[in-house]
Chains A and B, each alone.
Chain A
Amino acid sequence: MSEMSAGPAAPHAFVLSPGPHLHVEESTRRIMWWVNGALAPAAIWGVYVFGWNALAGIAASIAGALGAEWLGARMTGRRTTLADGSAFCTGLLLALTLPPRLPAYEAFLGGVFAIALGKMIFGGLGFNLFNPALLGRAFLMASFPLAMTSGWATPRNWFGASLDAVTSATPLAVIKEHGFAAGLAVITSPAGFWNALALGFRPGSIGETSVVLLALGAGALLARRILTLTIPLSVFAGVAIATWHTGVMPIHLMSGGLWLGAFFMATDYVTSPSTVNGQVAFGLLVGLLTGIIRVYGGYPEGICYAILIANAMAPAFDLWFRPRRTAPAGTPS
């Protein structure tokens, strides 16, 4: 700041911006990069326990998403939006739902399709109806069903505990195929409940092995008020209701896939309702559908489809659950 007088002749060109003249210290870009950061611990852990395959998958998926975003912006003549972090986020989220041994080129295609089909054709950020990452995953399930359901890997050994009892499927898949006892065996023995399920040494997709690290990331977003608990808690409640009668409700609730979906995917601003009541209804729907698909349907990781179905309902929830007016015109008081 240099010395300067403010006489009427001072050559100051004042900016005539419209009000309000203050703005909160938060931006879409910052929010997106916070979400990416919050996912980082789970992603890094996934790479650690599953090895280079997982890293290649994550990198390929993100590269596919960024590439498609860049190309889409070029083709439609829009401002490139790579820096806003949302395409990166889509790629990362998609990768975290993939099996660790999925070939990298398939992960790349998943990223491309997530953005192209999930976002671009709807008109870009803010206009998409479905969660792009989950749409990308659904595309991969349809295109590469075998790789998508068998690319599981045994996590790295830790604490000297042997994990050889682990099959090449997730515990939920084991429950589905071999019954509850076998599934329980996968996660309780021999490494122990926390070791296997919470700390993240169990088979599963790249990002769902550690509930603790997912919770850590979610906690950071909660503290920054990027997330609220409304949707995740409603999802958990829905799952609890739908799986109550199975007797293994806690196992369902402790699955990393559910946490990843409930905290990071069902909460996607664009594809979920905006009011608290709408969010409760939406979350319950996601949870109920997840439980039903898991128990009766063919897909153990039912939350992906549950969220996609609920996404389609989000505009309706927004219509049904609108904010309450403080005092509408003409009301007596």
Chain B
Amino acid sequence: MPMAHPGGSTHTFGRGGIHPDPHKEATSARGIDDLPAPAEVILPLVQHLGEPSEPCVKKGEVVRRGQKIAEGGATGVPLHATISGRVRPVDKRPHPTQAMAMAFSIAAIPEAEPELEFPEDPTWRARTSDEMLVRIREAGIVGLGGAAFPTWRKLAFAHEAKVDMLVMNGAECEPYLTSDHRLMLADPRAIVEGSLLIARCAGAREVRIGVESDKPDAQAALQKAIAQTPVGDMKVTVVPCLARYPQGAEKQLVAAVTGRNVPARALPTSVGVLVQNVATALAVHDAVRYRRPLLDRVLTVTGPGVREPRNVRAPLGTPLSEIVDFCGGLTADATRMIAGGPMMGRALPRLDVPLIKGMNGLVVLTGKGPLEDGFGPCIRCGRCLDACPLGLEPDQVSVRVEAGRTLDTERYGALDCYECGCCSYVCPSSRPLVQFMQVAKGALRRSADVRAR
């Protein structure tokens, strides 16, 4: 049974979690704006978890938007030109998550031809699981909710694990972000169709779309779309979830929407569930129906450091500076650039990095970061214990790491932490508990490796 929240039909996970100020008002009522095509895109060969893509075009070659420019190899995904133009040599360029990384760049040229055409496959609904996997892989799709794991691999794995349920992630529990919300409003039909395709591809028999209750319009739009879609014998429902962080984390979403508890260090497939993000469903729909590769992505550009917050659809590879300019530029007091949401996203050092597949938001914050004034001792207030959705003990881990007893932390859950940040968020002493957990986890894993040898 899904866990019903007392007093309503909204669902949520069991323990822990936080209710940060959502800050979504700046962009939640704004549609998605298309960025004018940039003059140059930078396409890193690594934008996903897996091996780097291998270039399959020559430098100086003129390519069309939509054309494949790198192969995916055995575990990765291919890469496509996101603007038409001339390919520049692969070179080291600034990367959002690595300092520098090998990347294509494509310069727009006036004589370039428009985007390749992607006609509809008239029998697209009749594709087999394997055919769908090939199209999804060829389209270069990775998890668009931020994880950036190649979607074809995740689906193949789910199929093997014989999942019975697909849980669609429309929770968008990170503060500030609204891109999934606006996508659900903009194209609910394609999201429902894409979900059906994913479910069939993975062998699931039921689809549940979890949407937090701060987005009633998206819930209604999806419900209407389901009614208009030939779902066959698939059971498709929208499950309203309480607005609560980290509802969108896979384990918490699965608990909220299905009532099944995913064990620590295991994947949702261990309880028969596949989790996919709504933006990924949209991309899968385009890939299976039109063989259209992933060329753009929608992200929310917002925060007090952005003059004109917007939901933007931009070609992959667009320099973030251009996207920020499209949103009116930064305010003078902007201090921190966060790729992704402010809870789990990472700070960027510079704006000349490209938009990559997994980046669902750019949140520009002002003022000091939580750690800039240092942190205090643990006052044993227990707030981090109450906040941890897994029931771990970050306070105990942190004092042991501080005392140099890093290997003494396994029993307090250091290995199970998935770094949601709830503990750090609530700690009145501003202790960097996530980082303490990371340190402990790393040390425990290394010592386990040493012992295994």
Tell me the A residues contacting B by CB distance below 8 Å. 1-8, 10, 12, 14-24, 26-28, 30-31, 84, 124-127, 269-270, 272-275, 322-333
Asked whether A124 lies within 8 Å of B381 as measured between CB atoms, the reply is no
Residues from 301 to 317 in B contacting A, C-beta threshold 8 Å: none
Known: A15-B372, A26-B428. 13 other contacts (CB 8 A): A5-B325, A6-B330, A8-B352, A15-B368, A21-B343, A23-B370, A27-B430, A125-B377, A323-B385, A325-B416, A326-B261, A326-B264, A333-B271
Q: How far is the CB of A326 from chain B (nearest CB, A)?
A: 5
Asked whether B332 lies within 8 Å of A327 as measured between CB atoms, the reply is no
Asked whether B380 lies within 8 Å of A270 as measured between CB atoms, the reply is yes
**Neighbouring A residues of B336 by C-beta, 8 Å:** 14-15, 17, 21
Q: With A6-B330, A327-B263 given, is the CB distance from A14 to B349 under 8 Å? A: yes
Asked whether A326 lies within 8 Å of B372 as measured between CB atoms, the reply is no
Q: Does B133 contact A (CB under 8 A)?
A: no
**Neighbouring A residues of B369 by C-beta, 8 Å:** 15, 17, 21
Q: Which single member of A12, A16, A19, A28 contacts B429 (CB below 8 Å)? A: A28
Q: Does B128 contact A (CB under 8 A)?
A: no
Q: Does B161 contact A (CB under 8 A)?
A: no
**Neighbouring B residues of A332 by C-beta, 8 Å:** 263
Q: Does B210 contact A (CB under 8 A)?
A: no
Asked whether A28 lies within 8 Å of B385 as measured between CB atoms, the reply is no
Asked whether A6 lies within 8 Å of B421 as measured between CB atoms, the reply is no
Residues from 344 to 364 in B contacting A, C-beta threshold 8 Å: 344-352, 363
Q: Which single member of A3, A20, A269, A325 contacts B379 (CB below 8 Å)? A: A269
Looking at chain A's contact residues, is the secondary structure mostly helix, strand, loop, or mixed? loop
Asked whether B263 lies within 8 Å of A333 as measured between CB atoms, the reply is yes
Q: Does B443 contact A (CB under 8 A)?
A: no
> How far is it, in angstroms, between the C-alpha of A4 and the C-alpha of B413 when the chains are bound?
46
**Neighbouring A residues of B271 by C-beta, 8 Å:** 333
Q: How far is the CB of A180 from chain B (nearest CB, A)?
A: 40
Asked whether A17 lies within 8 Å of B330 as measured between CB atoms, the reply is no
> How far is it, in angstroms, between the C-alpha of A26 and the C-alpha of B344 when the chains are bound?
20
Closest 6 CB pairs of A and B: A17-B369, A274-B382, A20-B421, A126-B377, A23-B370, A327-B261
Q: Which single member of B18, B334, B345 contacts A19 (CB below 8 Å)? A: B345
Q: How far is the CB of B265 from chain A (nearest CB, A)?
A: 4
Q: Does B15 contact A (CB under 8 A)?
A: yes
> How far is it, in angstroms, between the C-alpha of A103 and the C-alpha of B211 when the chains are bound?
65
Asked whether B351 lies within 8 Å of A6 as measured between CB atoms, the reply is yes
Residues from 8 to 43 in B contacting A, C-beta threshold 8 Å: 14-16, 18, 20
Asked whether A17 lies within 8 Å of B347 as measured between CB atoms, the reply is yes
Q: Which of the candidate stretches B136-144, B152-160, B218-226, B388-396 sits at the interface with the other chain? A: B388-396
Asked whether B261 lies within 8 Å of A19 as measured between CB atoms, the reply is no
**Neighbouring B residues of A328 by C-beta, 8 Å:** 263-264, 416
Asked whether A333 lies within 8 Å of B262 as measured between CB atoms, the reply is yes
**Neighbouring A residues of B16 by C-beta, 8 Å:** 326
List, sorted by A's number, 26 A–B pairs whose CB atoms are closer than 8 Å: A8-B319, A10-B321, A14-B350, A14-B351, A15-B368, A16-B349, A18-B371, A19-B344, A19-B346, A19-B424, A20-B342, A21-B363, A21-B370, A23-B424, A24-B425, A24-B428, A27-B429, A28-B379, A124-B377, A269-B379, A269-B382, A273-B382, A274-B395, A275-B385, A322-B393, A326-B390
Asked whether A325 lies within 8 Å of B331 as measured between CB atoms, the reply is no
Asked whether A269 lies within 8 Å of B377 as measured between CB atoms, the reply is no
> How far is it, in angstroms, between the C-alpha of A326 and the C-alpha of B16 when the chains are bound?
9
Q: With A10-B330, A17-B369, A333-B263 given, is the CB distance from A325 to B349 under 8 Å? A: no
**Neighbouring A residues of B227 by C-beta, 8 Å:** none
Q: With A275-B382, A329-B416 given, is the CB distance from A17 to B264 under 8 Å? A: no
Asked whether B425 lies within 8 Å of A14 as measured between CB atoms, the reply is no
**Neighbouring A residues of B381 by C-beta, 8 Å:** 31, 269, 274
> How far is it, in angstroms, between the C-alpha of A113 and the C-alpha of B395 when the chains are bound?
28
Q: Does B243 contact A (CB under 8 A)?
A: no
Q: Which single member of A16, A21, A124, A326 contacts B365 (CB below 8 Å)? A: A21
Q: Does B266 contact A (CB under 8 A)?
A: yes
Q: Does B175 contact A (CB under 8 A)?
A: yes
Asked whether A6 lies within 8 Å of B325 as measured between CB atoms, the reply is yes
Interface centre among A24, A31, A273, A324 (most CB of B within 10 A): A24
Asked whether B389 lies within 8 Å of A20 as measured between CB atoms, the reply is no
Q: How far is the CB of B111 from chain A (nearest CB, A)?
A: 26
> How far is it, in angstroms, between the C-alpha of A7 and the C-alpha of B338 when the chains are bound?
17
Asked whether A24 lies within 8 Å of B426 as measured between CB atoms, the reply is yes
> How far is it, in angstroms, between the C-alpha of A6 and the C-alpha of B432 when the chains are bound?
31
Asked whether A17 lies within 8 Å of B372 as measured between CB atoms, the reply is yes
Asked whether A12 lies within 8 Å of B425 as measured between CB atoms, the reply is no
Residues from 407 to 452 in B contacting A, C-beta threshold 8 Å: 413, 415-416, 421, 424-426, 428-430, 432, 434-435
Q: With A1-B332, A23-B425, A323-B392 given, is the CB distance from A8 to B263 under 8 Å? A: no
Asked whether A31 lies within 8 Å of B343 as measured between CB atoms, the reply is no
**Neighbouring B residues of A4 by C-beta, 8 Å:** 329-332
Q: Does B324 contact A (CB under 8 A)?
A: yes
Q: Which single member of A19, A125, A272, A273 contacts B347 (CB below 8 Å)? A: A19
**Neighbouring A residues of B371 by C-beta, 8 Å:** 17-18
User: Which A residue sits closest to B13, measured CB to CB?
Assistant: A326
Asked whether B342 lies within 8 Å of A19 as measured between CB atoms, the reply is yes
Q: With A20-B421, A21-B345 given, is the CB distance from A15 to B330 under 8 Å? A: no
Q: How far is the CB of B328 from chain A (nearest CB, A)?
A: 9
Q: Does B73 contact A (CB under 8 A)?
A: no
Q: Does B335 contact A (CB under 8 A)?
A: yes
Q: Which single member of B325, B338, B391 contacts A324 (CB below 8 Å)? A: B391
User: Which A residue sits closest to B14, measured CB to CB?
Assistant: A326
Q: How far is the CB of A103 from chain B (nearest CB, A)?
A: 33
**Neighbouring A residues of B380 by C-beta, 8 Å:** 126, 269-270, 272, 274
Q: How far is the CB of A187 from chain B (nearest CB, A)?
A: 36
Interface centre among B332, B377, B390, B425 (most CB of A within 10 A): B377
Q: Does B114 contact A (CB under 8 A)?
A: no
Q: How far is the CB of A166 from chain B (nearest CB, A)?
A: 40
Q: How far is the CB of A312 from chain B (nearest CB, A)?
A: 15
Asked whether A22 lies within 8 Å of B434 as measured between CB atoms, the reply is no
Q: Which single member of B266, B329, B344, B413 contacts A325 (CB below 8 Å)? A: B413
Asked whether B20 lies within 8 Å of A22 as measured between CB atoms, the reply is yes
Q: Which single member of B343, B376, B391 contacts A28 (CB below 8 Å)? A: B376
Asked whether A270 lies within 8 Å of B337 as measured between CB atoms, the reply is no
User: Which A residue sits closest to B304, measured CB to CB?
Assistant: A1
User: Which B residue sits closest to A323, measured CB to CB?
Assistant: B391
Q: How far is the CB of B336 from chain A (nearest CB, A)?
A: 5
Q: How far is the CB of A126 from chain B (nearest CB, A)?
A: 4
Q: How far is the CB of A322 from chain B (nearest CB, A)?
A: 7
> How far is it, in angstroms, between the C-alpha of A120 and the C-alpha of B266 when the chains are bound?
44
Asked whether B385 lies within 8 Å of A274 as measured between CB atoms, the reply is yes
Interface centre among A12, A27, A84 (most CB of B within 10 A): A12
